[in-house]
Amino acid sequence: MLEQTATSLVDMISSGETTAEYVIEQTIKQIEDTSQIHAFLHVNKGAVQQAKEIDRRIKEGRRVGRLAGIPVSIKDNICTKQYPTTCASRMLDGYTPPYDATVIRRLLDEDAIIIGKTNMDEFAMGLSTEFSAYGPTLNPHNPDIVPGGSSGGSAASVATHTSTISLGSDTGGSVRNPASFCGVVGFKPTYGMISRYGLISYANSIEQIGPMAKSISDISLCMSVIAGPDRNDNTTAGLTSVLFTDTHDVAKNPKVGIVRQMASNDNRIQNVLDKAVERLSAHGCTCEEVSLEMVDYSVAAYYTITSTEAASNLARYDNIRYGYNMDHTGYEYHQYITKARAMFGAEVKRRIIAGGFVPSAGYAGRYFLKALKVKSRLTREIDKMFESYDYLISVTVPILPFRMGEKVDDPVSMFLVDMNTVTANLTGKPAISIPYGMVDGLPVGVQMMANTTEDAKLLQFAQILEEGHTQ
Ligand code: GLN
């Protein structure tokens, strides 16, 4: 039952074929049975009660929402007023926000059940979930391997059927990377498509909340609930609501560009991409190699920009407004702040230090302003590309899911894993990762990008690959 998609579970629950209570009970049991994966930081104890309430309304013939009874898990950097929200950081240990994020309100309005909060890299900085202050999440396909990140708990929970849909956040690949490593679908929408109100900021100029699920139609269903303008987030203002459940006109013979700079050195991974390209060609797409020169500079620009924003966003964690162990007796002001900020993990500290330096007087021209130039040139380049091509394709991650501990002490090799994902963030484009094969028993995902606001079209088009998905 838990292997069902949200689309069919909703039908089964509302038609009386099963009950929300049963689905949620089974889910909680599955969370207990897979607890060694450590996908969750917090499990909702009231979920069964909430499910019973939905069943009661169905029995009484009252209207229920489009996600009635569906177990949805939420990355722990999205604010939930009934459950703790820690960003997997000691700094927010035990913190429960005073309000719900817009996406949470929209899910609850459609009667989704928030089943729990998922593990992540501290403050979403990382791509292996090893930087969680509460211990790593394991890859459900192999416990010695990382699940990807930073939304590793979310991807692992969808892969282990402990949630049918999960919300992650994607600043530089954090939805798509773990989706690829765990073998599920992950979607990073156009910047501004989903409200960030209640998403704890890391690099707010480029990040988006994004759904993960077992099927593309579940992603569309979720988008139809959470996307759209929100007066609490002005970056959503310019985009009219895209109709995610409608059928869209897709080009008859779409042109797909295979991005040369995103090729993998690993032939086994390239083979997965080749198969995807073959399938698209068999469906009448014209697929040809294209070159996006600025991609070579994208990772450097990405880390320069995101560290700068992170240093600024994380300045609020001073152990006065937010904090941990707030006993200040015997401390001078500066000592007290230092003691508190020493609580951040090594990766977060690195970002804060780098982010203080790169935009500073005398260096900004060499680093921060240069990174902004790369961002705008990359955007111009990709916009031009989308004048001639409908979609761009690559593998989601150029390497296989790696071993726990392999990269934790080598930040630069870790950063390079983001090579194929950061472009969509820097340019604001929608991008999806679809599981498309297995190499050595580990999943490999294929990424497709489309032009700004073409999210629904992209989701529809990507179904060609989903249908051809070979395990
Ligand atoms: N790995 C990238 C980083 O550490 C992406 C993280 C994300 O998308 N939140 O910044």
Q: Is the pLDDT of residue 471 over 70?
A: no
Q: What is the dihedral of CA 312, 374, 209, 157, to 10 degrees?
A: -100
Residue 186 near ligand 1, beta carbon < 6 Å: no
- What is the mean predicted confidence (pLDDT) over 90-107? 96
Beta-bridge partner residues of 142: 139
In this prediction, what percent of the chain has a pLDDT beyond 70? 97
Distance 453 CA to ligand 1 centre (A): 22
- What is the mean predicted confidence (pLDDT) over 190-199? 97
Residue 129 near ligand 1, beta carbon < 6 Å: no
- What pLDDT score was predicted for residue 243? 75
Residue 173 near ligand 1, beta carbon < 6 Å: yes
What confidence tier does 253 reach under pLDDT thresholds 50, 70, 90?
confident
Q: Is the pLDDT of residue 455 over 50?
A: yes
By annotation, the residues acting in catalysis are 75, 150, 174
Assign 255 to helix, strand or coil: strand
Q: Is the pLDDT of residue 217 over 90?
A: yes
How far is the C-alpha of 358 from the C-alpha of 297, rounded, in Å?
A: 16
Residue 124 near ligand 1, beta carbon < 6 Å: yes
- What pLDDT score was predicted for residue 242? 66
- What pLDDT score was predicted for residue 356? 96
User: Model confidence over 3-52: pLDDT tens digits?
Assistant: 999 999 999 999 999 999 999 999 999 999 999 999 999 999 999 999 99
Question: Which has more confidence, 262 or 325?
Answer: 262
The residue whose CA has the least distance to atom 10 of ligand 1 is 125
- What pLDDT score was predicted for residue 33? 98
Residue with tokens 């049963």: 22
User: Angle between the 6-14 and 216-226 helix axes, to the nearest 10 degrees?
Assistant: 70
User: Model confidence over 298-336: pLDDT tens digits?
Assistant: 999 999 999 999 999 999 998 888 876 777 888 999 998
Strand 185-188 to 255-259 pairing: unpaired
* Both structure tokens of 148: 């990807």
**Ligand 1 atom with least separation from CA of 302:** 10
Residue 125 near ligand 1, beta carbon < 6 Å: yes
* Both structure tokens of 15: 């038609």
- What pLDDT score was predicted for residue 323? 72
How far is the C-alpha of 378 from the C-alpha of 386, rounded, in Å?
A: 12
Residue 85 near ligand 1, beta carbon < 6 Å: no
6-236 maps to CATH 3.90.1300.10: yes
User: Model confidence over 124-179: pLDDT tens digits?
Assistant: 999 999 999 999 999 999 999 999 999 999 999 999 999 999 999 999 999 999 99
Average pLDDT of every residue of the chain: 95
Residue with tokens 């708990």: 153
Q: Is the pLDDT of residue 244 over 90?
A: no
Distance 162 CA to ligand 1 centre (A): 24
Distance 126 CA to ligand 1 centre (A): 5
Mutate to test the pocket of ligand 1, among 174, 307, 313 (most ligand atoms within 8 A of CB): 174
Mutate to test the pocket of ligand 1, among 169, 202, 314 (most ligand atoms within 8 A of CB): 202
Q: Which distant-in-sequence residues (6+ apart) come within 8 Å of 321 by Cβ?
A: none
Q: Is the pLDDT of residue 247 over 80?
A: no
Mutate to test the pocket of ligand 1, among 78, 119, 127 (most ligand atoms within 8 A of CB): 127
Residue 127 near ligand 1, beta carbon < 6 Å: yes
User: Model confidence over 415-438: pLDDT tens digits?
Assistant: 999 999 999 999 999 999 999 999
User: Model confidence over 367-405: pLDDT tens digits?
Assistant: 999 999 999 999 999 999 999 999 999 999 999 999 999
- What pLDDT score was predicted for residue 77? 98
Residue 465 near ligand 1, beta carbon < 6 Å: no
How far is the C-alpha of 232 from the C-alpha of 290, rounded, in Å?
A: 39
How far is the C-alpha of 170 from the C-alpha of 155, rounded, in Å?
A: 12
